[in-house]
Structure 1
Amino acid sequence: MAKKQQQRPTCMFCGSSEPVTKEHIFRSSWKKNLEVNQDLVLLPGVERKFRRYRQDDGSMVRDTSEDLFSVIVKRVCAPCNNKWMNDLDSIVEPWVFNPDDDDNRCDPNEFRRWAIKVALLRIHYDAPMAVEPEDPPRIYAGEDIPEWHVFIGHTAEPEHRHSLCGIGPVQLAIGGKAFGITQVSWTLGHSLVTALRVHGIDEVSKNCFLNFRQYNGVRRGVVREVTPTATE
């Protein structure tokens, strides 16, 4: 009996059936320019660990000391990888290297698109079905997605972190979440980005986002939002 041929995965952004490539979530060339040493010990007592948990019972399935720049997603075609995604990385690169320099500010719309692109890749790395199905094609088409809220900040000491968290049930049949919120955060050197995706207009979804903003306000603005209407 002939073996059943496996269907080739399509690009999560453009939908192309061209062979997918290995896409680094965080531009690998940044490693030599950023202070993100894996052995960084400027924060005593903080473990440099990357952990994965089962979605059904919350038990740990992975506990490694993973390099920030080795995090790879294999669901992107070469044209997307080498063209618009690479262009976005280049646009934000000056800000990533020095977020305190006012001359390094970039177009806020392009910055939001970059941040959402990174967030989508990071979600797919851990929980592919949690990605809202319509989000990758919209980013590919150059659209803004107002359900995504992008916040930026800077750290006093160079850091290297990336995390995914959230609340709300994943719709396993069609993907995305029925309601709730998804948060992706990362730090590259001194630059900090937090991207929040609100998954509905119900009270749970709205309150999750409001709680984040309230906490940020109590902390006197640890991060600032880059809104869809921002001019800088």
Structure 2
Amino acid sequence: MGMKKKSRPPLPKPCIFCPRPKGSKEHFWSEWMHEILPPPPPENRHNRLVFKYSPFDGHSEKGRRDTQGAIHTIKLRVVCASCNNGWMSQLEEEARPALTALIRGEETTLDRAALDTVAQWVTLKTMVAEHNDPDSAVTPRADRIAFRQTRAIPPYMRIYVGSHTVPFEKSAGFLRNSQAIARRSEDEHSTIKKLERIRRALRNGPPQPSPPLGDVPNNIQTITFFLGHVFVHITSTRVDGFAIEDIALVPTLYDTARIMPAQAAEMTWPRDPKFTLDQVNEIGGLMMKALGAQDYYWIRRNVPLPHSAVATAEQPIYTKTAESGSQPIRRQ
């Protein structure tokens, strides 16, 4: 009887920024922030859940409920020690003075250089946060590597910072929505007869994402999180000719609080108007509501069927979960 061959251990997964094996844990809320962020609640527990919806599979949930420990201490094992202790640590130190003023709500004016550094820090945290659930990531590996090498923020990413009225002791939370969509072709919106549109759709197949999804499953996302007296909102729309801001209208945020791409040479802090918790929740869920009312195909990874949907939303802490809606909304 022959000897059984020993199975080789699986190769370690690479760092999200370089070819080295991942293994170093990265704080989402940076360790130096713990002293100036709100103290954890007495029960010192949190949820780390990812919700998904598909018309084929219905609703599903994965992750951990009622996990021991404060939300500030959440770490993600997605990077290598070299990146974590090298360029990432350097970026943290460069962004620290400006972030400290924002978190504490101190009166200050941030110049363009400071705003660019804050935007780079937010981009770093966005890329790290995506990989809490890699099955819903949006930023391709090539763009993550380019960010490590040059700090180039992907052109499809927009970053906003705003003030809020949430009590400081409750101002820690996170919400992420991620989808895969494809735009319909122009002739599908035309006045040709319905039967002819159906024939064309059967002949050509459903529309495909442009640019292609590549090595990530999704192409559009929003992330909203609190840092003390500031809330941060990020939109990533890797879809040709389309931006979330075109269909989800929030003039008081989109027109005045964008720090990347650059909108102004400087920003005074704190900002007016200050957003309420309900308004921040609505901003966090705008993508779901707006896309629910638009004429797009929802794409399921490797099964590009028309009207199939895969949606994920990480449960926020201290905030309610975003809900899908049937009408686009406009907020002041």
TM-score, normalization: structure 2? Answer: 0.57
Query: Is 1:139 aligned to 2:147, yes or no?
Result: yes
Residues 72, 78 of structure 1: CA spacing in aligned structure 2 closer, same or farther, 3 A cutoff? Answer: same
Q: Specify the alignment match of 1:210 in structure 2.
A: 246
RMSD (Å), alpha carbons: 2.8
Match of 1:37 among 10, 25, 40: 40
Count of aligned positions: 215
Q: Specify the alignment match of 2:162 in structure 1.
A: 153
Match of 2:98 among 83, 87, 95: 95
SS at match of 2:228: strand
Pick which of 95-104 and 23-32 moved more.
Answer: 95-104
Q: Specify the alignment match of 1:221 in structure 2.
A: 253
Residues 63, 9 of structure 1: CA spacing in aligned structure 2 closer, same or farther, 3 A cutoff? Answer: closer
Query: Is 1:7 aligned to 2:11, yes or no?
Result: yes
Residues 190, 26 of structure 1: CA spacing in aligned structure 2 closer, same or farther, 3 A cutoff? Answer: same
Rounded to whole Å, the distance in 1 between the matches of 2:217 and 2:19 is 17
Residues 174-204 of structure 1, C-alpha deviations (whole Å, 9 max, x = no match): 2143x5x2011111111211111011124xx
Q: Specify the alignment match of 2:125 in structure 1.
A: 118
Q: Specify the alignment match of 1:175 in structure 2.
A: 216
Rounded to whole Å, the distance in 2 between the matches of 1:172 and 1:198 is 12
Q: Specify the alignment match of 2:59 in structure 1.
A: 58
Structure number with higher relative contact order (C-alpha < 8 Å, ≥ 6 residues apart):
2
Report the alpha carbon displacement of residue 168 of structure 1 after superposing the two structures with TM.
2.1
Q: Specify the alignment match of 1:195 in structure 2.
A: 234
Residues 136, 186 of structure 1: CA spacing in aligned structure 2 closer, same or farther, 3 A cutoff? Answer: same
**One-letter amino acid of the structure 2 residue matched with residue 140 of structure 1:** R
**One-letter amino acid of the structure 1 residue matched with residue 236 of structure 2:** R
Q: Specify the alignment match of 2:272 in structure 1.
A: none
Residues 12-64 of structure 1, C-alpha deviations (whole Å, 9 max, x = no match): 112224x5211112212312222243359xxxxxxx75432245533233463
Residues 150, 36 of structure 1: CA spacing in aligned structure 2 closer, same or farther, 3 A cutoff? Answer: farther
SS at match of 1:187: strand
User: Tell me, which stretches of 5 or more residues in structure 1 are unaligned?
Assistant: 41-47
SS at match of 2:132: helix
Rounded to whole Å, the distance in 2 between the matches of 1:143 and 1:75 is 20
Residues 139, 173 of structure 1: CA spacing in aligned structure 2 closer, same or farther, 3 A cutoff? Answer: closer
TM-score, normalization: structure 1? Answer: 0.79
Q: Specify the alignment match of 1:44 in structure 2.
A: none
Residues 39, 210 of structure 1: CA spacing in aligned structure 2 closer, same or farther, 3 A cutoff? Answer: farther
Rounded to whole Å, the distance in 2 between the matches of 1:182 and 1:64 is 24
Residues 12, 49 of structure 1: CA spacing in aligned structure 2 closer, same or farther, 3 A cutoff? Answer: closer
Question: Does the Cα contact within 8 Å between 1:107 and 1:231 map onto a contact in 2?
Answer: no
**One-letter amino acid of the structure 2 residue matched with residue 121 of structure 1:** V
Question: Does the Cα contact within 8 Å between 1:22 and 1:74 map onto a contact in 2?
Answer: yes
**One-letter amino acid of the structure 2 residue matched with residue 149 of structure 1:** R
Report the alpha carbon displacement of residue 76 of structure 1 after superposing the two structures with TM.
0.7
Question: Does the Cα contact within 8 Å between 1:112 and 1:150 map onto a contact in 2?
Answer: yes
Q: Give the structure with higher Rg (CA).
A: 2
